[in-house]
Every structure is written in C-alpha cells, then in structure tokens.
Structure 1
Amino acid sequence: MADAARISDPVQSPCIGVCTLGPNDLCIGCMRTSREIGDWLGYSEAERKRITAELPGRLEALFSM
C-alpha cells in the first residue's frame, strides 16, 4: 500500500467553464492566458502551482484599473 504522506493531489485546472478571452488575452473565467489554457496538461505540478498562485493577483489587477 502506498504511503499516504507521499501521495499528493494534482493541481486541478482553475477552469470554471466560462472560457472567453478578453482583449488582454486572459480568460474572463479563470484568468489564465490562452497559452496557459492550451498548455495546461503539459505543465508540471510546480508550473501549475505557480500559475494558480498568480491568478488572484491578475484578477485584482484587472479590477483595480
């Protein structure tokens, strides 16, 4: 049986099913760029975590303009 401490949940896609790119190339649903959306399945867990961590800042920057 695998050691539970060594098993981690994969970073899930932040997609909420809106999937519409704005003029800034950010999806208005998840705040990822078109490239990040297209490449998501090929990213490592570390890359997914980095991108996911950036998303709240992107949303905040968008609404603070």
Structure 2
Amino acid sequence: MAIKSSCIDVCAFNRKSQLCVGCFQTLDETPGWKKMADHRRHQVINERTRRQAKVQREPLGLPAEPSFAAI
C-alpha cells in the first residue's frame, strides 16, 4: 500500500529551517518523495509534529515587505 505524502499544495519554505510551511518536508524530501522507500516516507511523516513545532517557534524567514520612500 502506497504511503501518501503530507503535501497540501502550499509549497512555501521557511528560510531558517528550510522546511515547507505546508507539509514540513525539507527541500530535498519534497521532490524526492516519489522515489523514497516506504520506511523513509514513514520517517518523514513521523517527524512532522516536531518539524511543525520548530517552524512555529521561528519567524518565517521571508523577505521583509519593501519600503517605499515618498518622493
């Protein structure tokens, strides 16, 4: 039986943690999911709670809003 990805089609990565803020997979795990062995997929899914907590403790690491000076 195939193990479903935790991907929810958000695909936005936290710069500090390098984790997707939707599925909490790493930049390497996301594109490699289809080729991953089932035991590795289980590991990724089992780490989701820990990774989610890590991302929620950190700022998003996204670029700051641009500031516009009045001319």
TM-score category, normalised to shorter length: 0.7 to 0.9
* Structure 2 residue 41 is matched with structure 1 residue 20: no
Cα distance in structure 1, aligned partners of 2:13 and 2:45: 17
- CA shift, 1:22, in A, is 1.4
Identity of aligned residues (%): 26
Cα distance in structure 1, aligned partners of 2:21 and 2:57: 15
Q: TM-score, normalised by structure 1?
A: 0.78
- Is the 2:20–2:27 Cα contact (8 Å) retained in structure 1? yes
Q: Which runs of 5+ in 2 are unaligned?
A: 59-71
More helix by share: 1
Q: TM-score, normalised by structure 2?
A: 0.72
Cα distance in structure 2, aligned partners of 1:22 and 1:54: 16
Provide closer, same or farther for how the CA distance between residues 21 and 51 of structure 1 changes in structure 2, counting only shifts above 3 A: same
| Residue in structure 2 matching 1:34, options 11, 27, 30 | 27
Root-mean-square deviation (CA, aligned residues, Å) is 1.3
Cα distance in structure 2, aligned partners of 1:64 and 1:26: 13
**Greater C-alpha Rg:** 2
Higher relative contact order (CA 8 A, sep 6+): 2
Q: Which runs of 5+ in 1 are unaligned?
A: 1-8
